Structure 1
Amino acid sequence: MPGTTPVIIGSERSEVGLPAGMEILVSGGSALDAVEAAMRLCEDNTADHYVGTGGLPNARGEVELDASLMIGSSRAFAAVAGLQGYPNPISIARAVLERLPQHSLLVGAGAALFAAECGFPTADLLTPEAEKLWRMSLLEATDESVEGEDTTAQAGDLAYRHAALELVRRLAPHDGPWGTINILALDAHGELCVGVSTSGYPWKYPGRVGDSAVPGAGNYCDIRAGGSACTGRGELSMRGGTARRVVDLLGAGVDPEAACRAALADAALLPDDFRAELRVLALTPDGRHGGAATLRGATYAVMTPDSAEPELHERSVL
């Protein structure tokens, strides 16, 4: 609706990009432009090892990126997943939205082919720091190595590979900020947009795609109710349809914070031997916002036209 007060919110570490997004919003720009611009700065932040350039690699040492966008007024959705060699998957997701509207999700080699056709620049996504973290946590954690000879695997080779897989499953994220980045924006014209970008779980099985590229799981947006996005254990939010559940609750009149908490409570009922933290954010068409997490101390960032810098808000705790 014309005359809406712009708002932009984001998950932890989105503060790198939110000011650029708000600058677009206060100048009358679109929520889509704001989300893309803000997220690109997050993806280009090489100190962040969970999105874009510098993201931690999969179990084979390859950085695979996922990103998605959803527009509230049309519920148009576009995503790329398992993308290698392109530093800004959020922009490629936007290109899918605008140049390939007959599709919503491109993966792997197909996503890379489309990016090349669109002229997006390539880059080496595995930075020296990220590679060092990977080697220290995975390769150097075993005393023996498997030789690369072209021979039939022996019992010892198979035992090593099984042990390596068990190691990958046990590894927790390194100390410091981590996780997918969500950015949600409401523009002066009343449009809502939600964007998500991630390099996924570190040391993941090659080809693993989480909730960030799945509508209704890690990302959902409906102008009639609001937008929502998730970070953390993506397999849980895929099974629980967590982002869509939040939006449905918003549509039923539930407060954003309470809706986020209720969606997490529902996901908590799912059996999961690999349970890890899950967090969720919500933004409504009238600018109300809220967030929830399964652990204390979680925050999210907010900017309005009156903000000098991103303001941190505590998330409700399940």
Structure 2
Amino acid sequence: MGPRPRSPFRRATPWLVPSLLAVSVAAALTVVPGTEADDGRSAPTAAALAEPGEVRGKDGTAGSPGRPVPRPDARDVVLAVHGGAGSALDPATTPPERAQAYRDGLANALRAGKKALDDGGTSLDAVAAAVRVLEDDPLFNAGKGAVFNADAEHELDASIMRGADLAAGAVAGVRSLRNPIDGARLVMEKSKHVLLSGEGADDFGARHGLATVTQDYYWTQARWDALLRAKEAERGGTSAARAPEALADARSTGTVGAVAVDRRRDLAAATSTGGLTNKLPGRVGDSPVIGAGTYAKNGTVAASATGAGEVFIRGAATATIANLMEFKGLGVAPAAYEVVVERLPRLGGQGGVIALAPNGDFDAPHSSPGMLHGYLTRDGRLVTKIYPQESPANS
């Protein structure tokens, strides 16, 4: 591992060198862009079973007067991923090839997780494999393609959790691990700790053989341009016109994550991020915080969050979803909706979550206009959603 390059905001000559990463697409599964077919939304509601004036969801659970109980987005899901919540991709300004690249990225992650499950792996293996693919894809804000902090450096966070025994591991502020999710799993399996940060986390990963890189590996033009725009905005300037691909990246600014359930009905969740553009050095968001950005507990839910990290920490977002299911008896959709759409916005932040119950019920509520995500059903059907029309906010 070479010496860490210094920030161009600390000296006159930038150290960054552009690099590209091609996105490979496998065609082993049927990809259904934005479809709602067979995902439960078209099924009849349980309204006919309700008493006069009562509102019920499809599972028969009573809801608040005047508001239907939220229903799962899909049934029989075994694996789901997200690529971040943001202001949403716009079909009018996102070039078709760019949109396809986002779909391919999500689909490739789902295929990687599926392969892990098909090979007899656990749900933990599946979420780690899926997130690793997203970390290697420069379109997403994790691993390659992570955003810059205020000193034009990269500090990455990740976490992973196993629902069977509540084992968890996380890394925060790492600067040289190629795949932070591998570092998080290593902390879980090879240390007595849950969270390692900074140089200690990097060194721990390197000592155990994880692939390491120099900072220029994470660099992408889109993230560099985003930092320059943020710096200009701080100075009170106006940003120059942005290319469609820059608009697309700006509107998909979040974290990546995965949730899975395996044949043993064991749950797992994983999350990884580069954080916020122009964040203060040392800032840590919700992604490596167990119970905020990531949570998995057998019998309740596996959840991975994306959005305003500080708010998700204050609201203990993913753990609260699990607690609502366990102690209040809510289904996965009502619990996730209550946290993401009703509670967290009152704390001042937007975002979303992918949440999977052990019976395969899946929901992806978000208060932000958009959230890139996709899921895989037990029968091999693969769905990706990148536009608001495919996944409306607050639903």
Tell me, yes or no, if structure 1 residue 7 matches structure 2 residue 87.
no
The one-character-per-residue Cα deviations of 1:37-70 (angstroms, maximum 9, x if unpaired) are 111110000232x111121110001111100001
Q: 1:138 to 1:103 in 2, by over 3 A?
A: same
Query: What TM-score results when the alignment is normalised by the length of structure 1?
Result: 0.81
SS at match of 1:267: helix
Give the structure 1 partner of residue 95 of structure 2.
none
Give the structure 1 partner of residue 331 of structure 2.
255
SS at match of 1:62: coil
Tell me, yes or no, if structure 1 residue 82 matches structure 2 residue 158.
no
1:43 alignment partner, one of 135, 143, 153: 135
8 Å CA contact retained: 1:10, 1:18: yes
Distance 1:7 1:309 in 2: 11
Give the structure 2 partner of residue 303 of structure 1.
376
SS at match of 2:346: coil
Distance 1:204 1:184 in 2: 27
Distance 2:220 2:293 in 1: 29
2:202 alignment partner, one of 92, 112, 115: 112
8 Å CA contact retained: 1:220, 1:244: yes
Give the structure 2 partner of residue 285 of structure 1.
358
Give the structure 2 partner of residue 158 of structure 1.
none
8 Å CA contact retained: 1:24, 1:33: yes
Q: 1:131 to 1:309 in 2, by over 3 A?
A: closer
Q: 1:23 to 1:239 in 2, by over 3 A?
A: same
Q: Is 289-298 or 34-43 further displaced after alignment? A: 289-298
Query: What TM-score results when the alignment is normalised by the length of structure 2?
Result: 0.66
Distance 1:126 1:300 in 2: 22
The one-character-per-residue Cα deviations of 1:257-297 (angstroms, maximum 9, x if unpaired) are 21111012112222x4xx4x211221111111112111345
Q: 1:173 to 1:79 in 2, by over 3 A?
A: farther
- Please report how far the alpha carbon of residue 85 of structure 1 lies from its aligned counterpart in structure 2 after TM superposition: 1.5
Give the structure 2 partner of residue 133 of structure 1.
225
Q: 1:18 to 1:120 in 2, by over 3 A?
A: same
Distance 2:230 2:309 in 1: 22
8 Å CA contact retained: 2:226, 2:250: no
- Please report how far the alpha carbon of residue 230 of structure 1 lies from its aligned counterpart in structure 2 after TM superposition: 1.1
Partner AA of 1:261 in structure 2: Y
What stretches of structure 2 of length at least 5 have no aligned partner?
Answer: 1-75, 84-101, 238-246
SS at match of 2:127: helix
Tell me, yes or no, if structure 1 residue 180 matches structure 2 residue 251.
no
Distance 1:260 1:175 in 2: 26
Give the structure 2 partner of residue 153 of structure 1.
none
Distance 1:254 1:310 in 2: 26
Distance 1:253 1:90 in 2: 32
Tell me, yes or no, if structure 1 residue 197 matches structure 2 residue 272.
yes
Give the structure 2 partner of residue 221 of structure 1.
296
Give the structure 1 partner of residue 284 of structure 2.
209
Aligned length, in residue pairs:
282
- Please report how far the alpha carbon of residue 128 of structure 1 lies from its aligned counterpart in structure 2 after TM superposition: 4.4
What's the % identity of the aligned pairs?
Answer: 32
Distance 1:315 1:131 in 2: 26
What stretches of structure 1 of length at least 5 have no aligned partner?
Answer: 143-162
Q: 1:135 to 1:67 in 2, by over 3 A?
A: closer
